[in-house]
Amino acid sequence: MRKKSNNRVLIDDEKLEVSSEILRALAHPLRMKILSFIDKHGSVNVNKIYNTLQLEQSITSQHLRILRLANLVDTKRRGKYVVYEIAYDKLGDTIDSVRTFIEEFNA
């Protein structure tokens, strides 16, 4: 999305769709809790996430899938385990964009 000189907004549907998926992924309190847990531990497998946070495995996997589709977490295989890590570049870009939007909105 960008502004034209006459204050009309040009909407890029593809970018809007991607942005809404990222924001939707971040809008859920349990996903934020999972992201915080991953951040605290660096890289962690799904078993550790659901056991430590006392969640059902299926619920944890569903939320991790949403975070993965939004590219907010990366996965790596370590032996028989898949470990999750935060995609800090993507998350940082998202936070910066939201911060910029809020600053411009309040100006």
Q: What is the pLDDT of residues 10-51, one digit of tens each?
A: 777 788 888 889 999 999 999 999 999 999 999 999 999 999
C-beta of residue 13 within 8 angstroms of C-beta of residue 55: no
| Separation CA 82–CA 65 (nearest Å) | 12
- Res. 99 pLDDT band, cuts 50 70 90: confident
CA dist list (Å): 16 to 5, 12, 56, 75, 102 = 20, 6, 32, 25, 17
Q: What is the pLDDT of residues 52-75, one digit of tens each?
A: 999 999 999 999 999 999 999 999
CA dist list (Å): 97 to 1, 33, 55, 59, 91 = 12, 21, 31, 29, 10
| Separation CA 34–CA 52 (nearest Å) | 10
